[in-house]
């Protein structure tokens, strides 16, 4: 086992690196679609694709445990609402912000998880992690361009709302996973998501063109592949060991933003992203050193 551990970590890191490439591809597709379709409609089709992917597993499981039966329907409902609303906000941020900025702000979700875990799960949080959270939020403030007056645009607000809602969804996953299996959680997430994204989509609906259908398909395939690789990575490797690889998403996003959309992060964006990345990475490592399982 000792000889296999480094190899498993390397394979896990590769899966995580690959997930970052696919997540970036998803962001590019969303941003391309956002030039002519509303972010709400794009989110709706993302949920539809996800539902199609898990349907075979649901058919196999049926109404038994691990299928559509849940022991905590209200928690599943709350988790579905939080996750779906987070996706709406995240896609809106991608459409209206440079890819690198949207990606960097999304990593601030870890900063929100710490106080939420202390409040909801009654977890003990030490001084070091509280300091890391405070420093991390300084990185968020830097990205709001304080030298130019705080620039809390709708896109920035959406990105922060996305991070906060993902943190809430993460805490709810910790609760729900005590009772239900992953496929059950995914089922209710997508069922609720169809409603949460479908209602606003009715008001902004625009029938996609042939090319938009292609981009929607590409977006769905990339997003599905990204989550598949992400799950494989954290199932195989320790979060504290492979987490640094996940921050390569910032690099991919910056390259894609420049090559496809001719945008580059400014000094505030680079400095803020660096502070957020370093502090969230510290939190993951700190939790691992305390014997806790860091939240993927």
Return the closest-CA partner of residue 249 out of 10, 23, 26, 93.
23
pLDDT at 252 over 70: yes
Q: Is 17 exposed, middle or buried (0-12, 13-18, 19+ CB in 10 A)?
A: middle
List Cβ neighbours of 117 (8 Å cut-off, separation of 6 or more): 123, 125, 171, 174
- Report which of residues 2 and 216 the model is more confident about: 216
Determine contact, residues 256/99, Cβ cutoff 8 Å: yes
| Element (DSSP H or E) covering residue 208 | none
| Phi, psi for 247 (deg, rounded to 5) | -75, -5
Q: How many residues are present in the chain?
A: 296
- How would you label 254-280 residue by residue, b for 16+ Cβ within 10 Å and e otherwise? bebbeeeeebebeebbbebbebbbebb
- Rounded mean pLDDT, 29-46: 93
Per-residue pLDDT at 91: 94
- What does pTM read for this prediction? 0.84
Q: Give the pLDDT confidence of 60-85 residue by residue, as tens digits.
A: 766 555 567 788 888 889 989 999 99
If phi over 0 gives left and psi between -120 and 50 gives alpha, with beta otherwise, what is residue 222? alpha
CB-side neighbour CA atoms (13 Å) of 25: 19
Per domain, the residue ranges of the chain are 4-289
Task: Determine contact, residues 212/2, Cβ cutoff 8 Å.
Answer: no
């Amino acid at each position: 086992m000792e000889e296999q551990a480094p190899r498993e970590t390397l394979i896990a890191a590769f899966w995580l690196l690959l997930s970052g490439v696919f997540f970036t591809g998803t962001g590019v597709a969303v941003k391309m679609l956002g030039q002519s379709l509303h972010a709400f409609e794009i989110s709706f089709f993302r949920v539809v694709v996800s539902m199609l992917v898990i349907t075979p597993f649901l058919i196999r499981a049926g109404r038994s445990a691990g299928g559509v039966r849940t022991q905590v329907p209200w928690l599943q409902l709350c988790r579905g609402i939080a996750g779906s609303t987070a996706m709406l906000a995240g896609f809106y941020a991608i459409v209206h912000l440079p890819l690198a900025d949207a990606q960097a702000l999304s990593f601030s979700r870890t900063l929100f998880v710490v106080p939420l875990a202390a409040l909801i799960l009654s977890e003990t949080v030490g001084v070091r992690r509280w300091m890391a959270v405070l420093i991390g939020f300084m990185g968020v403030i830097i990205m709001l361009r304080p030298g130019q007056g705080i620039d809390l645009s709708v896109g920035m607000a959406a990105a922060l709302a996305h991070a906060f809602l993902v943190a809430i969804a993460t805490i709810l996953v910790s609760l729900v996973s005590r009772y239900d299996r992953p496929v059950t959680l995914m089922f209710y997430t997508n069922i609720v998501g169809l409603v949460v994204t479908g209602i606003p989509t009715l008001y902004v609906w625009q029938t996609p063109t042939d090319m938009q259908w292609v981009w929607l398909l590409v977006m769905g395939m990339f997003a599905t592949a990204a989550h598949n690789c992400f799950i494989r990575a954290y199932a195989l490797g320790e979060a504290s060991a492979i987490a640094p690889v996940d921050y390569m998403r910032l690099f991919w996003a910056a390259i894609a933003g420049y090559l496809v959309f001719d945008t580059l992060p400014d000094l505030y964006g680079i400095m803020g992203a660096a502070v957020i990345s370093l502090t969230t990475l510290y939190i993951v490592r700190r939790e691992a050193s305390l014997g806790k399982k860091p939240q993927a």
